[in-house]
Structure 1
Amino acid sequence: MGDFNEVVHVAERKGATSLSASGEDFRAWINDMELVDLELNDRKYTWLRGQSCSRIDRTLVSLEWLDTYMDTRLRGGLRGLSNHCPLILEDRRLVQGPRQFHSLDSWFTHEGFLRMVKEEWRGLGDAQFLDKLKALSKPLGRWHKQHFGNIPEKIKKLEEEIKKVDDMVSNGVYDGTVEARRKALVRCCELWYTRQDIHWK
């Protein structure tokens, strides 16, 4: 899965009328390796810059892999500031058995997370382990919404505050308090950048 920087069909490049020699070679290689190029379900192109559009990002799988994961689909995510759309591979099979318990690595970057878990866990008394995990899901959901509910918005507010301080400095307002405030805001913003990276991973 990734950016192969090549199309394998004329329709995968906007305005193209023929396939390049390197495109022909890449398509032949895919066939020689007995790979399957998963179909992209929700868009035609994965790379856009100006009026140029191509599908150069793809996911290649073996026939054996496809036999095991028959119910997968490939879709593109929002490209944001990048020229590329991220590829998202989804498994549409229904999960059998009890609902899985999930935690996010980003939670462990928050100083209050483990304390909250310990308090909630103690409050559940002598219940069975699986029952405790099930009961813990609701307070975890509330805690996540309160502390991690909208990370981009938190980052945006911090960036706006940093800009206000920079504007003050540009207008001649500068002292130790202003510098200390900027450093504190930058540290906090960096922490949320890290949390956002961990969250997406």
Structure 2
Amino acid sequence: MSRSRLAKDMDKNTRYFHNIASTRRRNNRVDALVINGRLVRNQARIKIAIREFYKNLYHQEESPMVGFRDGLVGMISEEDAAALEMLPSAEEIRDAVWDCESSRAPESDGYNFNFIKKCRDQIETEFTAAVVGFFQTSRLPADTNITWVALTPKFIEAKEIKDLRPISMVCRVYR
């Protein structure tokens, strides 16, 4: 009975609900962190230290560009290898989009191919440039795969970055 009342009261805009929310916010707030052995309370310095920590932890290593003609694949002819390395034309990109199922999307919040087909006149230039850019560099544009990280303390009064649990909020293609 008490649990059902608690759940019912938490959904209401009551003082009880606000006290729980305020306590939770206070417990999850990172007011100070130990950085390089020193306690830092400056929020700007804390943000910079956290950003650098995760940049160093999850950095992307450079990989060499390898083509079909570099001996990676020896089963195809030289002309087939050259054809595979050619940049796609705008018509090929358009045909590939039109061959995809219109109602499919990467996730429930993603744009489906119907959006790309319907808005082709407005986005075709940028879309084609993004696809060709990927084939030229083998990299997606930097803002394609953005991940925001929210940090929550693993316990009350966490003081080091390792005491914080990262929760990723991903806006991505990643596939």
Note whether the superposition's TM-score is higher than 0.5: no
**Alignment TM-score, normalising by the size of structure 2:** 0.17
Q: Which has the higher contact order (CA 8 A, sep 6+)?
A: 2
**Alignment TM-score, normalising by the size of structure 1:** 0.15
